[in-house]
């Protein structure tokens, strides 16, 4: 079994991560913090997931925001 003890995002799906960020900040604030089109123009979880899965630099920004957020 592949264990990742140093990966704080291990076990968290991208959909779960994005959903929690949207619940916490809302689309408007999320788009202000990470200026990408899928957050600022007709945002949805589905379209954002599609974009983030294809765009490593954007996914990295979203993951970093998630890690910096005080839950």
- In whole angstroms, what is the distance from residue 68 CA to residue 71 CA? 9
Residue 11 located in a structural domain: no
Query: In whole angstroms, how far apart are CA 2 and each of 12, 17, 52, 54?
Result: 15, 21, 24, 24
How many domains does the chain fold into? 1
Residue 17 located in a structural domain: no
Dump pLDDT digits (tens) for 5-52. Answer: 788 998 999 999 999 999 999 999 999 999 999 999 999 999 999 999
Residue 6 located in a structural domain: no
- In whole angstroms, what is the distance from residue 36 CA to residue 27 CA? 11
Residue 26 located in a structural domain: yes
Residue 7 located in a structural domain: no
Indicate the SS3 state at residue 13: coil
Residue 47 has a CB neighbour count (10 Å cut-off) of 14
Residue 8 located in a structural domain: no
CATH code, domain with 51: 1.10.720.30
Residue 29 located in a structural domain: yes
Instruction: Check residues 2 and 45 and name the one with the higher pLDDT.
Output: 45
- Domain carrying residue 62: 22-68
């Amino acid at each position: 079994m592949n264990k990742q003890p140093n990966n704080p995002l291990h076990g968290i799906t991208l959909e779960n991560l994005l959903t929690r960020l949207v619940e916490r900040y809302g689309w408007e604030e999320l788009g202000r913090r990470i200026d990408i089109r899928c957050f600022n123009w007709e945002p949805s979880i589905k379209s954002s997931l599609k974009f983030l899965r294809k765009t490593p630099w954007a996914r990295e920004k979203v993951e970093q925001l998630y890690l910096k957020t005080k839950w």
